[in-house]
C-alpha cells in the first residue's frame, strides 16, 4: 500500500513525497485500539504521547495526526517555561525520563534585556521543593487551550508537563465539549483539566483583570488565529506565553495579499522566502495588537513546519519598549524579476545618552526598477524584523530533548529542527540557490561552495529551518549576484572572485 502511494506521487515534488512518507509513518505509529470499557460504539481510541483519547471515528475532523509534532514541541516548550518560572519560586520540576544535568542559570525577569538575575537555587536546598507531572501546583502555570476540539492537547499537558496549576480546555462546539469532558475522565486528569464551553474570545475578554490572566494561552485554530489575537494579548499575564498556530498558509504566503493585510495588517508576497515571511507577518500582528495595550512581544521560538506555522512568544508590559516597536518592523521590496529583496524599517530609534530618539524610517532603499534586472518591485509587510527565536531558550529546549530522547514520538524531528534554529542568523528572509540559478539560467551551485564564497568575502551565512535550499546572509544583494556571476564563469574565475572579494572585505 505504502509503495503504491509513493509510486502514485513519484512524479511530484520531493517535498510532497517526504510529506506523504511522514504521514504514512505517523499513521502507522498510532495505536488505534478496539472497543474499551467506556468507549461508545463506533468510537476509536487514539494514543498520542501519554494521552489516550476517545474519538468519534466518523468525525476525523477532531484528530489531526500530522499535528503530533506541534503538540510534542508545545509540551517541550511548556516544560522549559514551567522550569524557568518555578525555579524563581524555589520549585524544581521533575520530568519523567530526564537524565540529571547541570542546572542552568536563567534570567527570569527578562523582558528582552540581557543580564542574569540571582538564581533562587541560592536558596538553601532544604527550602526548595519539587513538583511532578499530574500534580496540581498552586504556584504553577495557569494554562488555557482556547480551541481544544477533543481536549487531546490539554490532556497531554496535564499528563506530560510538570508545574501546572490548572488547564482549561475550551471549545465553542457543544459536541467537542462533551468529548473533552469524557476524555478528561477517561484520562483521570480531573484534578488539573476543566472543560469549558465558550467562544474563546469571550472567555479571554472575561479574564483580562490582572489576577485572572493566564500564564499560557494556546491557540490552534483551523486556518487563521487573527480574530483571537486581540483577546489573547490582553488576557495573558506579564511575561506570559502565547502559543499560536496558523494554517492559512496560502494567505500568509502571498496568494491573497489583501486578505493577509485584512487579517494581519501586513501584505504577504509570493516569494521564495514566503515561509519565513509568514512567521514574521504573524509576529508583526502579535506585536501590533500588544502595542495597543502598552505591551510588546519577545519571540521564544518561531517554526515553519509542514503546512502550518507555530510561534511561542512572551508578552510583556512596558511603555518605553512599546515605543521601540516601529523600529522592529520592516517593509520588504521584492523584485518580481530576479527575486532580490531590500528591507526598510518603519521607524528609527537612536540612543542619545540615556534617552532614545524615535523617528520615521528613511527610504526607499531601492529605485523604481531593480538595479540588477530592471524589473519592478512589489512591496510587502510590514513584517517583524527582529530575532525569530530566543537562542538561549531554544538551547534549553534542545538540551532537555537530548537528555530525554525517548520523551516524544517526534523527539528526533524536534532536535533536528531546533539544531538548525540555533544556528540560524537573526537576519530577516533568505535567498534560495535554485531561484538564484534559475534566474540566470545556470546549474545550481552547491551549498558548500556558495557558503564558503560568502564567508571568505567576510559575510555571515546560515541555513534556514523554514526552507531546504535557503541561504541567510548579511551580504548585500550585489555580493550575492557577484558570486553567481563568478559561478557561471569557468571555475578558475570563481576562485579568483572569492579571493578578490576576500581582499576587498579586508581593506
Q: Among 69, 372, 450, 487, indicate the residue that binds Zn ion (CB under 5 A).
A: 372
Q: Tell me, by CB under 5 A, how many residues bind Zn ion.
A: 8
338 binds Zn ion (CB under 5 A): yes
Minimum distance from residue 81 beta carbon to ligand SAM (Å): 18
220 binds ligand SAM (CB under 6 A): yes
44 binds ligand SAM (CB under 6 A): no
H helices within 347-472, ranges in order?
391-403, 411-423, 433-439, 447-456
The SS3 of residue 42 is: coil
147 binds ligand SAM (CB under 6 A): yes
160 binds ligand SAM (CB under 6 A): no
Residue 122 has which C-alpha cell? Answer: 541560592
497 binds ligand SAM (CB under 6 A): no
DSSP H/E element including 293: none
The SS3 of residue 368 is: coil
* For the chain, counts of helices (H) and of strands (E): 17, 20
51 binds ligand SAM (CB under 6 A): no
- Residue 57 touches which of Zn ion, ligand SAM, none (Cβ within 5-8 Å per kind): none
Residue 79 and residue 146 in contact, taking contact as beta carbons nearer than 8 Å: no
Q: Pairing state of beta strands 431-432 and 141-145?
A: unpaired
- Closest to ligand SAM by CB, 173 vs 317, is 173
177 binds Zn ion (CB under 5 A): no
- Closest to ligand SAM by CB, 144 vs 370, is 144
H helices within 245-308, ranges in order?
249-252, 257-264, 274-291
Measured at the alpha carbon of residue 238, what is the angle toward residues 235 and 242, in degrees to the nearest 5?
Answer: 60
**Interface characters, 331-360, with ligand SAM (x: CB under 6 A):** ------------------------------
Residues 6+ apart with CB under 8 A from 371: 478
- Closest to ligand SAM by CB, 409 vs 445, is 409
282 binds Zn ion (CB under 5 A): no
Q: Quote the distance between the C-alpha of residue 49 and its chain's center.
A: 21
Torsion 261-62-141-310 (CA) sign: negative
Q: Report the largest interatomic distance among the alpha carbons of the chain, rounded to a whole angstrom.
A: 77
Residues 6+ apart with CB under 8 A from 47: 30, 31, 33, 53
Residue 87 and residue 71 in contact, taking contact as beta carbons nearer than 8 Å: no
Q: E strands along 110-260, which residues?
A: 129-132, 141-145, 164-171, 193-197, 214-219, 236-246
Residue 192 has which C-alpha cell? Answer: 488539573
Minimum distance from residue 169 beta carbon to ligand SAM (Å): 9
**Contacting range for ligand SAM; rule: CB under 6 A; set: 195-203, 393-401, 461-469, 497-505:** 195-203
How large is the C-alpha radius of gyration of the chain?
A: 24
In the block, residue with C-alpha cell 548585500 = 476
335 binds Zn ion (CB under 5 A): yes
**Contacting range for ligand SAM; rule: CB under 6 A; set: 3-11, 125-133, 171-179, 405-413:** 171-179
**Cα–Cα distances in angstroms (integers) from residue 112 to residues 115, 116, 120, 275, 287, in the given order:** 10, 12, 20, 25, 14
**Contacting range for ligand SAM; rule: CB under 6 A; set: 164-172, 271-279, 312-320, 364-372:** 164-172
- Residue 337 touches which of ligand SAM, Zn ion, none (Cβ within 5-8 Å per kind): Zn ion
- Residue 338 touches which of Zn ion, ligand SAM, none (Cβ within 5-8 Å per kind): Zn ion
71 binds ligand SAM (CB under 6 A): yes
- Closest to Zn ion by CB, 252 vs 480, is 480
- Closest to Zn ion by CB, 452 vs 478, is 478
Minimum distance from residue 301 beta carbon to ligand SAM (Å): 17
Minimum distance from residue 187 beta carbon to ligand SAM (Å): 14
Q: Among 221, 265, 365, 449, indicate the residue that binds ligand SAM (CB under 6 A).
A: 221
**Interface characters, 431-450, with Zn ion (x: CB under 5 A):** --------------------
Up-side HSE of residue 30: CA atoms within 13 Å toward CB? 22
CA distance 357 to 352: 7
52 binds ligand SAM (CB under 6 A): no
Q: Among 199, 306, 371, 426, indicate the residue that binds ligand SAM (CB under 6 A).
A: 199
Q: Which residues bind ligand SAM (CB under 6 A)?
A: 67, 71, 147-150, 152-153, 170-173, 176, 199-201, 220-222
Amino acid at each position: 500500500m505504502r509503495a503504491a502511494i509513493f509510486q502514485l506521487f513519484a512524479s511530484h515534488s520531493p517535498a510532497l513525497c517526504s510529506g506523504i512518507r511522514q504521514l504514512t509513518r505517523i499513521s502507522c505509529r498510532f495505536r488505534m485500539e478496539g472497543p474499551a470499557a467506556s468507549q461508545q460504539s463506533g468510537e476509536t481510541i487514539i494514543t498520542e504521547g501519554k494521552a489516550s483519547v476517545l474519538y468519534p471515528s466518523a468525525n476525523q475532523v477532531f484528530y489531526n495526526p500530522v499535528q503530533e509534532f506541534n503538540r510534542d514541541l508545545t509540551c517541550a516548550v511548556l516544560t522549559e517555561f514551567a522550569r524557568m518560572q518555578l525555579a524563581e519560586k524555589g520549585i524544581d520540576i521533575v520530568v519523567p525520563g530526564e537524565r540529571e544535568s547541570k542546572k542552568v542559570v536563567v534570567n527570569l525577569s527578562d523582558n528582552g534585556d540581557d543580564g542574569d538575575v540571582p538564581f533562587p537555587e541560592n536558596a538553601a536546598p532544604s527550602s526548595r521543593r519539587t513538583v511532578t507531572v499530574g500534580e496540581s501546583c498552586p504556584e504553577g502555570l495557569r494554562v488555557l487551550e482556547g480551541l481544544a476540539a477533543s481536549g487531546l492537547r490539554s490532556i497531554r499537558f496535564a499528563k506530560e508537563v510538570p508545574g501546572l496549576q490548572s488547564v482549561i480546555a475550551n471549545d465553542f462546539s457543544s459536541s467537542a465539549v462533551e468529548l473533552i469532558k469524557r476524555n478528561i475522565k477517561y484520562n483521570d486528569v480531573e484534578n488539573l483539566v476543566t472543560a469549558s464551553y465558550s467562544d474563546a474570545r469571550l472567555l479571554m475578554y472575561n479574564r483580562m483583570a490582572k489576577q485572572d490572566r493566564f500564564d499560557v494561552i494556546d491557540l490552534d485554530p483551523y486556518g487563521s488565529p487573527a480574530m483571537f489575537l486581540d483577546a489573547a494579548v490582553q488576557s495573558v499575564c506579564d511575561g506570559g506565553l502565547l502559543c499560536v498556530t496558523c494554517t492559512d498558509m496560502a494567505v500568509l504566503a502571498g496568494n491573497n495579499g489583501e486578505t493577509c493585510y485584512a487579517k494581519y495588517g501586513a501584505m504577504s508576497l509570493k516569494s521564495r522566502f514566503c515561509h519565513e515571511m509568514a512567521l514574521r507577518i504573524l509576529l508583526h500582528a502579535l506585536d501590533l495588537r500588544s502595542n495597543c495595550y502598552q505591551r510588546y512581544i519577545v519571540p521564544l521560538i518561531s517554526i515553519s513546519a509542514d503546512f502550518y506555522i507555530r510561534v511561542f512568544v512572551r508578552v510583556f508590559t512596558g511603555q518605553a519598549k512599546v515605543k521601540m516597536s516601529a523600529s522592529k518592523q520592516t517593509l520588504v521590496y521584492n523584485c518580481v524579476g530576479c527575486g532580490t529583496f531590500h528591507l526598510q524599517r518603519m521607524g528609527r530609534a537612536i540612543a542619545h545618552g540615556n534617552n532614545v530618539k524615535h523617528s520615521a524610517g528613511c527610504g526607499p532603499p531601492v529605485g523604481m526598477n531593480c538595479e540588477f534586472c530592471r524589473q519592478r518591485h512589489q512591496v510587502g509587510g510590514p513584517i517583524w524584523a527582529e530575532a525569530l527565536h530566543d537562542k538561549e531558550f531554544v538551547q534549553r529546549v534542545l538540551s532537555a530533548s537530548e537528555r530525554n530522547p525517548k520523551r516524544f514520538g517526534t523527539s528526533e524531528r524536534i532536535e533536528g529542527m531546533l539544531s538548525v534554529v540555533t544556528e540560524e542568523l537573526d537576519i530577516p528572509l533568505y535567498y534560495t540557490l535554485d531561484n538564484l540559478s534559475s534566474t540566470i539560467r545556470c546549474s545550481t551551485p552547491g551549498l558548500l561552495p556558495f557558503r564558503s564564497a560568502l564567508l571568505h568575502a567576510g559575510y555571515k551565512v546560515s541555513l534556514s529551518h523554514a526552507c531546504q535550499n535557503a541561504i541567510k546572509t548579511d551580504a548585500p544583494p550585489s555580493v550575492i549576484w557577484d558570486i553567481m556571476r563568478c559561478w557561471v564563469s569557468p571555475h578558475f574565475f570563481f576562485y579568483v572572485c572569492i579571493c578578490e572579494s576576500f581582499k576587498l572585505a579586508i581593506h
